[in-house]
Structure 1
Amino acid sequence: MIELKEKVYELMCGSWNLEDYPVPESTWVSDAFAKDKPCDRLYIEVCEANQRLCERLHVAEDADIECIIGNLLEIAHILSLQMFEYGVLSTKQIKP
């Protein structure tokens, strides 16, 4: 069974197939990469910059560029999951 933090992350990234696998969390977790959202626009810029670099290098793709992009995405994934855990911890420590 997928952990809640992974499910939230996948919903935020728009990678969860809600059509075939609807989940109640989708009512309170929005897709940060939905059309015209900031992450959508930023990712488009990353893809366009990658394309321009590859054109300048006269290659279809470049291993170093792919490494940079992939590693930054993985860093964001790790930080997102850790932030989720810190959020859960903070709600347990804060008492009204």
Structure 2
Amino acid sequence: MFVWRAIDEKIASAKAPRSRGLNLPDIVYKTCGADEESAVHILLKCNFAKRTWEQVTSWLKIPMVNVNDSLKDILLEINEIQRSKGMRKAIYAATIQTMW
């Protein structure tokens, strides 16, 4: 449920109220200050998120995910990894848990 909502930018972030018509003056992500606080930035593009993905992909022994893509693209990329069905399911579950 969380990832599905994150794909649609409906998780709690500073950018989310803008989609409902609220104009917040400062929506920069406070953790890094590099970009707007959106689901994609928090889960993929922030330097902290990038380092997390580097560690997770290293642990799973899979190629690094393209953090410049969308959340949906990451999940599609994970599903296309050449591993057994059981291993793909485990990698997919680890990906979902990493986002959570």
With the shorter chain as reference, the TM-score category is: 0.3 to 0.5
Q: Using structure 2 for the length normalisation, give the TM-score.
A: 0.32
With a CA cutoff of 8 Å and minimum separation of 6, indicate the structure with the bigger relative contact order.
Answer: 1
Q: Using structure 1 for the length normalisation, give the TM-score.
A: 0.33
Q: Which has the larger helix fraction?
A: 1
